[in-house]
Amino acid sequence: MALLGSHNPWAAAFGILGNIISLMVYLAPAHTFHRIYKKKCTEGFQSLPYLVALFSSSLWLYYASFNIKHSIFLITINSLGCVIEIVYIVIFIKYAHKDAKNLTIKLVAAMNLGSLALILFVSHFALNASLRVKVIGYICDVVSLSVFAAPLSVMAQVIRTKSVQFMPFSLSFSLTLNAIIWLAYGLFNKDNCVALPNVGGVALGLLQMVIYAIYRNGGARELAIEGGMRTIVVVNPSGPAEVFPIAENDEVNDQQSQENNKGGEDDAQGKTVEANDCPL
């Protein structure tokens, strides 16, 4: 209670709400990994979203450690986030085929170990305490803002196909709500490094909902996403990443459909099985 008492009451309220919603976002991919566990393969999923989420959470955790009394809510959610993302990554490595497994291990070594260790080492030995907090905060902001390119690709896909199946409203709404809560937390807690990237998160979320409203009744054909899915990541500043499973490119699907029609029903069935096989 003493730690909570060090917060502005409004900051504490938004911090608690932010922890609850962000935890739900962290747990959202659990269904994906249950599917991976059951099928004993990673299908078309990629490990990069979870590596980025772990990297982002680790940086925010380091940033929060400089002022524990005023950053307890950042510490709690990002500590949980690191544990959850590590579990996801371990499951992915266990069931991924050789190439994906090797790439994931290399990315972990380069980004989550090498880059993070370098940032910690340089900031600790080359910067004084006051400057260290600012620099790490700016790095956290840059990492958070840089990945906002991911949802832009989803919005472009929606506009191109005139179908919102690529951008479920619940994901857009949760992204917006999450960003609003962490923005309010940053403002009430007088933490500009937390507030700044969430301004972009709010704008991005509102833009997604506007696009959803425009194309929600679109007549584009539905794409089968069960077999050929890929994932993109939306990193929530000072919190987790949202993972969007979306269908592969329309042109690829069209080409496969034409090949299946030419090859006959038997050939098409064979190609479908081959495409969904999980190399172990």
What DSSP assignment string belongs to 14-28? HHHHHHHHHHHHHHT
pLDDT at 6: 56
Residue ranges of the chain with pLDDT lower than 70? Answer: 1-7, 147-150, 166, 218-280
How far apart, in Å, are the Cα atoms of 6 and each of 12, 22, 190, 211, 239?
A: 9, 22, 13, 41, 21
Tokens of 153: 């690709």
Domain edges within the chain: 8-147+220-271
pLDDT at 162: 84
Determine if residue 40 is left, alpha or beta; phi over 0 gives left, psi from -120 to 50 gives alpha, anything else beta. Answer: left
pLDDT at 28: 83
pLDDT at 74: 93
pLDDT at 218: 66
Contacts of 109 (CB under 8 A, 6+ apart): none
What's the pTM value of the predicted model, to 2 decimals? Answer: 0.76
pLDDT at 175: 79
- Which run of H or of E encompasses 231? strand 229-235
Convert the pLDDT of each residue in 207-219 to its tens digit: 888 988 888 886 5
pLDDT at 18: 93
